[in-house]
Structure 1
Amino acid sequence: MGFLALVSLFIALAPTVVASNTTFSQAQVFIEWGILVLFIVEYGVNFIFASSRRIFVLNPWRILDLFIICTGLLSVIPMANEHLRSIPALRLLKFIRMALFGFRMKFAMSLDNSKISLVLSPPVQSFKAYSLVDKNICGYTELTWGSVVQRLKSSSNDWLFAIGLNSEQLTEVADILQAPKSALDMLFKHSLYPRIERMDEYTAIFLWSPKVVKLSDDSVPTIERSPILLLGANNNIITLSGTESSLVNEITLNLTEVGIPAPPLMQTTSALIRVLIAQYTDVISTLEQTLLYLDKHQKQLGDKSFLDQTFRLRNEITNVRGNLKHFASVVHQLAEKPLAIKSFEVMPRPILTVLADDVDGLFDSADDLLTTLAALVELRINISSFQMNKVMRLLAVITTITLIPTMVGGLMGMNLIDSPWHFTLSEITFFVGVAMSCGIYIFASKGWFR
């Protein structure tokens, strides 16, 4: 459409610089009608496929489109008086139409609609609660809110998992565990990285549960994170999740597959950490595969596409690396520092120490990915710079070679008749050819053509 706008602009300017005749006038009208028909078709197709036709018609850009079409119909309608069609006012409308259409096209082309996405708030989850430890580890049991409160107040060991707590329920949990609600809100809603709060009355642990979202039309995956908050005091641990997830099933499956001699609360907590480690391992593996894909197909990708994908990949790797760094710190503190949970009083905690080493290994892997990606980007930039240098070198050769005839022509002039120079045109052409050939040979011997 921008090309058609340019053609229409030339047609509008043509009568001012080209002598008009019958054939030219007919061709001008025919081309203007063709362009106008394409404008109408474009407007009609967008109108038919618009999600809301009322919004489409009232859109300021579409009103401008309709104005452009009506102006075109007025200026090229065959029944219009010839004097009316050639008056300066209508010609001015043509120029305004082209200027506005060009501005609109520039604005539309500056938007990358394939990358526009709406950031929606996560859906509000209905309340669900489960018990994963009931004196002995025996899978999970779904609970009501009353049962959750009763178990939190009891002295028996319980590891609870709750989803979708409202503000009143969170306040009640904070009161039972003697933890300030404002601190829990700050941890659960405003924390950027995993962290641990060790108080005398309670222990609060904030973690992220990562999940890989592979986009079908792009090679770079997106990492979604769900918040998890563990609250431990006395004999109980309650885990709060921000969104519905399969963590309960995964923790239960891990408990049944990995049997370790430890108190039930420590077993379940270590099972949660192992599940998160498995999720981060999957994330690291996916990011590594994406990096290998970019390395393998970088020749097929243009500079803009390559840099765009590597930038987004670096962003994902950096976020995962930061989360793993703080996650490792949290697990190390769980393994070594005193906590307000009676089942964790036994020191040291070798199970958590091993898991902390696993998280350290994942952090090192993420750090290696970041280093490899930086080296890949640097290599691509160096290759682009080398190719640009080859182009600039070729331009320098062409400029230098063409400088010889330019200087000779400037010094001797275009006409050798009655000139003070006693040379013929063939002689000058020969000497210029010799000089250019010598220059080409010098540059070729230096390897500038390779």
Structure 2
Amino acid sequence: MQGLRSSGEKGRKAAARDLVYRILSDGLMIFLGLVMAPIVILPLLFALPEPVIEFFNLADTLIIAIFVIEYFLKLGLAENRVSHFLDRWHLLDLVIITLPALEVLPVAGSTLARSSPALRLLRVVRVAAAGGRSVERRIEPEVTALEPAPPPFSTMRIRGMAGGTGDVLDLTSEEAKRYLESAPAGVWLDFSGVSRPDFPILAELLGVPAVYFESRLMRPSHPGITSAGATRLIFVQEPEQISRVRKGAPVPGVTKIGLIVVNRGETIATVAKARDHFFEQVQAGLGANALPGVPLHSRVLYGALDRINENYAAILVELEAELLRLEGTPSNEMPKNFLDSVFHLKRISSALASSLFHEREVTTVLARSISVSGSWAGQKSIFDALASETDYLHETAGNIQEGLLTLIDVHINTVSYEMNRAMRVIAVLSALVLIPTLVGQMLGMNTLDVPFSLYLWQVTVWTVIAMLGVGWIFYKIGWLR
């Protein structure tokens, strides 16, 4: 996914694309596709009067023109024009706008438009294509970013490392079992691409109930840590930026990739539904961190949690930058989709704050569980630092969330203030216009028997004086400032 803050050119293109999708909406194209059917078919079935046929031809041409405009505008503003063009429904759109041109192609000194059988066939095909397009617009989901269903067969990959030597072995489940029994102290097994058929195998290898993997990897859950005898079970989630398409424009979002860490003594296992996602990064971090004397299981656990914190920090940096940009934008230059954009950012920050709250609990418990005595008491300090960093990230996410809420309040208050000012101006103008209106109504009455002389200039002067007096009152009470 690209950054939350796109360039000006991409922003203008996204705004234009959103405008086109709102004006030439799916509902409008469904309606036009349905209207096209009687316009094209009725003249083929019945002998209609000439004025009616001319009207139908004009309406048919207008509908086709709208289809042409929609097709080329959406193709020109698409993020990936090739994928947009090759989409099966967009190819159907191309058929709809191409068939009318074939009706007037010269064939053997005549045209298809004058050839009744060919004309009927082409127009029936065109109506069928438009009908299929309408059905597609009704049943095709706007966002097709659904997570693929887990395969019914095993796709698990097992890799092992012993003693932190850097030698990585690809293992089968039977080899992994023998590896755990015969390997020296300090073993790391990584299970990636895990699906439901693998849960009984994992339960047997790691001594953890299969239902635990089901509840953490296949169902919505939050980070947590628990102990079962000498085994410590840790579930954490790595955030990953994604982009979904909504009304033709990319909408930022965050998904979470779950990781289970099973730690028993100096043996550690990492289990993830994602294939080959954690192992390489954590393995590279083992050498980069260069923690001499730290046991392998502590380095793996620290490397996994540190990587997750780095991803959280990267997303929060972009959120902060976008928040600062919105805060620095004058109120009169706010984009039209301001509230929609802030809403999506707030949803992302809320999800991050919730995950970091539980992540902080995990790192805090880990830091407290390490004794200050031992062969390498310094490992407590790195987990203390990790807990402090997670706590800081949680506070940062909370601050961003509060900043977005404040931004929404300021925007709403600014709009309300401007609306109140406009209503006051309207009230003042109405009061000023009311004075000459009342005077005009009085002059329309019979004034022959009034006991004083009345001239037009006097009426004008007194009207102006009254209007100035009312205007002065409104000015003093602050309605004109």
CA shift, 1:357, in A, is: 1.1
Cα distance in 1 between the residues matched to 2:343 and 2:262: 37
Q: Which moved more, 1:221-230 or 1:144-153?
A: 144-153
CA shift, 1:311, in A, is: 0.9
Q: Is the 8 A contact 1:284 1:366 kept in 2?
A: yes
Secondary structure in structure 1 of the residue aligned to 2:235: strand
1:172 equivalenced with 2:201 (yes/no): yes
Counterpart AA for 2:359: F
1:41 equivalenced with 2:65 (yes/no): yes
Instruction: Indicate which of 422, 426, 451 corresponds to 1:395.
Output: 426
Counterpart AA for 1:358: E
Q: Is the 8 A contact 1:149 1:173 kept in 2?
A: no
In structure 2, the CA distance between the partners of 1:187 and 1:40, relative to structure 1 (3 Å rule), is closer
1:334 equivalenced with 2:363 (yes/no): no
1:121 equivalenced with 2:121 (yes/no): no
1:317 equivalenced with 2:349 (yes/no): yes
Q: Which moved more, 1:46-55 or 1:418-427?
A: 46-55
In structure 2, the CA distance between the partners of 1:446 and 1:39, relative to structure 1 (3 Å rule), is same
CA shift, 1:174, in A, is: 1.0
Q: Is the 8 A contact 1:177 1:201 kept in 2?
A: no
Q: Is the 8 A contact 1:140 1:252 kept in 2?
A: no
CA shift, 1:31, in A, is: 9.7
Q: Is the 8 A contact 1:336 1:348 kept in 2?
A: no
Q: Which moved more, 1:209-218 or 1:314-323?
A: 209-218
In structure 2, the CA distance between the partners of 1:360 and 1:316, relative to structure 1 (3 Å rule), is same
Report the equivalent of 2:444: 414
Counterpart AA for 1:438: G
Cα distance in 1 between the residues matched to 2:458 and 2:369: 95
Deviations 1:386-440 (A, max 9, x none): 2112111111211221222233344x26355657585344433332222112222
- Output the TM-score relative to the length of structure 1: 0.70
Report the equivalent of 2:43: none
Secondary structure in structure 1 of the residue aligned to 2:391: helix
Counterpart AA for 1:434: I
Cα distance in 2 between the residues matched to 1:273 and 1:280: 11
Q: Is the 8 A contact 1:188 1:206 kept in 2?
A: no
Instruction: Indicate which of 265, 269, 288 corresponds to 1:257.
Output: 288
Q: Which moved more, 1:186-195 or 1:412-421?
A: 412-421
Matches within 5 A, 1:293-372: 293-297=325-329, 299=331, 302=334, 304-337=336-369, 349-372=380-403
Q: Is the 8 A contact 1:127 1:164 kept in 2?
A: yes
Instruction: Indicate which of 236, 244, 267 corresponds to 1:207.
Output: 236
Secondary structure in structure 2 of the residue aligned to 1:141: strand
Unaligned runs of at least 5 residues, structure 1: 6-28, 58-103
Deviations 1:323-355 (A, max 9, x none): 11111111111222389xxx9998983321221
In structure 2, the CA distance between the partners of 1:399 and 1:344, relative to structure 1 (3 Å rule), is farther
Report the equivalent of 2:252: 221
CA shift, 1:46, in A, is: 6.4
Deviations 1:116-155 (A, max 9, x none): 4223114758332222x31234154333333223334456
Matches within 5 A, 1:114-193: 116-122=142-148, 124=150, 126-131=155-160, 133-138=161-166, 140-154=168-182, 156=184, 157-193=186-222
Cα distance in 2 between the residues matched to 1:373 and 1:437: 45
Unaligned runs of at least 5 residues, structure 2: 1-22, 29-52, 73-84, 95-133
Q: Is the 8 A contact 2:232 2:264 kept in 1?
A: yes
Q: Is the 8 A contact 2:162 2:183 kept in 1?
A: no
Counterpart AA for 1:253: A
Cα distance in 2 between the residues matched to 1:424 and 1:430: 10
Report the equivalent of 2:458: 427
Cα distance in 2 between the residues matched to 1:206 and 1:445: 66
Report the equivalent of 2:38: none
Cα distance in 1 between the residues matched to 2:212 and 2:65: 60
Report the equivalent of 2:121: none
Q: RMSD of aligned C-alpha atoms?
A: 4.1
In structure 2, the CA distance between the partners of 1:215 and 1:287, relative to structure 1 (3 Å rule), is farther
Counterpart AA for 2:329: H
Report the equivalent of 2:319: 287
Cα distance in 2 between the residues matched to 1:32 and 1:423: 66
Cα distance in 2 between the residues matched to 1:199 and 1:306: 49
1:269 equivalenced with 2:301 (yes/no): yes
Cα distance in 1 between the residues matched to 2:456 and 2:167: 101
Cα distance in 2 between the residues matched to 1:401 and 1:245: 75
Q: Is the 8 A contact 2:193 2:276 kept in 1?
A: no
Cα distance in 2 between the residues matched to 1:254 and 1:136: 12
Deviations 1:42-97 (A, max 9, x none): 2566699894489889xxxxxxxxxxxxxxxxxxxxxxxxxxxxxxxxxxxxxxxx
Counterpart AA for 2:231: Y
In structure 2, the CA distance between the partners of 1:168 and 1:32, relative to structure 1 (3 Å rule), is closer
Moved beyond 4 Å, runs of 4+: 29-36, 43-50, 53-57, 214-220, 300-304, 343-348, 415-422
Secondary structure in structure 2 of the residue aligned to 1:423: coil
Cα distance in 2 between the residues matched to 1:294 and 1:369: 12
In structure 2, the CA distance between the partners of 1:332 and 1:139, relative to structure 1 (3 Å rule), is farther
Cα distance in 1 between the residues matched to 2:213 and 2:461: 89
- Output the TM-score relative to the length of structure 2: 0.66
Q: Is the 8 A contact 1:210 1:226 kept in 2?
A: yes
Instruction: Indicate which of 243, 252, 265 corresponds to 2:274.
Output: 243
Identity %: 21
In structure 2, the CA distance between the partners of 1:420 and 1:404, relative to structure 1 (3 Å rule), is same
CA shift, 1:158, in A, is: 1.5
Counterpart AA for 2:146: L
Secondary structure in structure 1 of the residue aligned to 2:444: coil
Counterpart AA for 1:38: L
CA shift, 1:165, in A, is: 2.4
The alignment of Structure 1 onto Structure 2 pairs a total of residues equal to: 370
1:197 equivalenced with 2:220 (yes/no): no
Cα distance in 2 between the residues matched to 1:39 and 1:220: 31
Deviations 1:161-212 (A, max 9, x none): 1112233322122133332211221122224321112111532211111122
